[in-house]
């Protein structure tokens, strides 16, 4: 049986309390939310924090609501809550598509969107969905809060813009009319991590794609934001030829690594094909 290295445990009662604990305990302290990524890493001794600050009582971070023209998700919202949210499914069906294929009910009952984004696993699905949705992330510290674009959030595999004494508090998704979105993933078996995955959000105007976001998972060292694919789509009327051009750019711009889930060329092919499929469904949803 794998056992973590010894650690001290503190249970935060508010965001301010969690932040002051992080400040006091220093860089060897780590937040724990659902624990579905951190605990396995601790058991494998890939992580050995001296202090765990448990944030599961911070109900102030557990919500999904519309506010100020945005859909706002608290960092402690669980996968299951995202999957069950009528509001999220209606405004951003990409998140329901993604949540249906993340892990299993056990993981979805406890794992949080904040933990998933902060883990920054390159194969993690919600980062690709957030990249496609042009999410903005609210990071809080004792000195106040700052808002970071999703494109600037990941600093590499398992690294984010969240500092050691900060907390990811909220995910903000811009709400616009005539929106459609979809997520497509290939996994080896139900509940597995992606071999490759693609998420697309489109915002239509007069039959053309006014704006678009394309994000990929598992085909780079962190979630891939496909700027060139977005550029070729923006302002154009949807067509199969246009989707082919965007899919080719998504495939060209990713950098998958060969592993037990498949060779580089297979993953690159999937990145293009899944982008094409997600585009078709996102546009159909926007127009439907």
Residues that bind ligand FAD (CB under 6 A): 30-38, 40, 75, 102-103, 107, 111-112, 114-116, 118-119, 124-126, 162, 167-168, 193
Is residue 32 within 8 A of residue 12, CB to CB? The reply is: no
In the complex, the smallest distance separating the C-beta of residue 46 from ligand FAD, rounded to whole angstroms, is: 11
Measured from the CB of residue 235, what is the shortest distance to ligand FAD in angstroms? 32
Cβ count within 10 A of residue 42: 21
In a 3-state reduction of DSSP, which class is residue 64?
strand
As measured in angstroms, the least distance from the Cβ of 239 to ligand FAD is 32
Question: 3-state DSSP call for residue 195?
Answer: strand
- List C-alpha distances in Å: 71 to 64, 96, 120, 172, 259: 7, 14, 22, 6, 36
Q: Which lies closer to ligand FAD via its Cβ, residue 173 or residue 286? A: 173
Report the residue number, 105 or 263, with the smaller CB distance to ligand FAD.
105
Phi-psi region of 36 (alpha: psi -120 to 50; beta: other; left: phi over 0): alpha
Closer to ligand FAD at the Cβ: 102 or 249? 102
Nearest to residue 112, comparing CAs of 154, 177, 151, 59?
Answer: 59
> Residue 91 CB, nearest distance to ligand FAD (Å)?
20
Closer residue to ligand FAD, CB minimum distance, 52 or 247: 52
């Amino acid at each position: 049986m794998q056992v973590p290295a010894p650690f001290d445990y503190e249970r935060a009662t508010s965001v301010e309390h969690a932040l002051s604990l992080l400040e006091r305990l220093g860089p060897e302290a780590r937040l724990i939310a659902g624990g579905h990524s951190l605990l396995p890493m601790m058991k494998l001794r890939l992580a050995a924090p001296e202090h765990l600050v448990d944030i599961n009582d911070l109900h102030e971070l557990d919500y999904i609501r519309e506010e100020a023209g945005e859909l706002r998700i608290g960092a402690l919202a669980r996968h299951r809550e995202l999957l069950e949210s009528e509001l999220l499914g209606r405004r951003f069906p990409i998140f329901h598509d993604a949540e249906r294929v993340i892990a299993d009910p056990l993981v979805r009952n406890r794992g949080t969107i904040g933990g998933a984004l902060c883990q920054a696993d390159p194969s993690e699905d919600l980062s690709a969905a957030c990249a496609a949705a042009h999410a903005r992330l609210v990071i809080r510290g004792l000195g106040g809060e700052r808002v970071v674009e999703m494109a600037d959030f990941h600093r590499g595999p398992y690294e984010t813009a969240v500092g050691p004494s900060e907390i990811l508090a909220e995910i903000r998704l811009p709400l616009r009319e005539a929106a459609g979105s979809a997520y497509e993933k290939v996994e080896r078996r139900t509940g597995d991590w992606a071999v490759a995955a693609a998420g697309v959000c489109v915002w239509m105007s007069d039959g053309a794609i006014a704006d678009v976001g394309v994000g990929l998972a598992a085909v780079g060292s962190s979630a891939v934001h496909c700027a060139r694919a977005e550029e070729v789509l923006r302002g154009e009327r949807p067509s199969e030829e246009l989707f082919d051009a965007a899919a080719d750019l998504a495939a060209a711009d990713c950098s998958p690594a060969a592993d037990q889930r498949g060779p580089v060329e297979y993953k690159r092919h999937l990145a293009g094909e899944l982008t094409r499929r997600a585009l078709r469904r996102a546009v159909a949803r926007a127009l439907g």
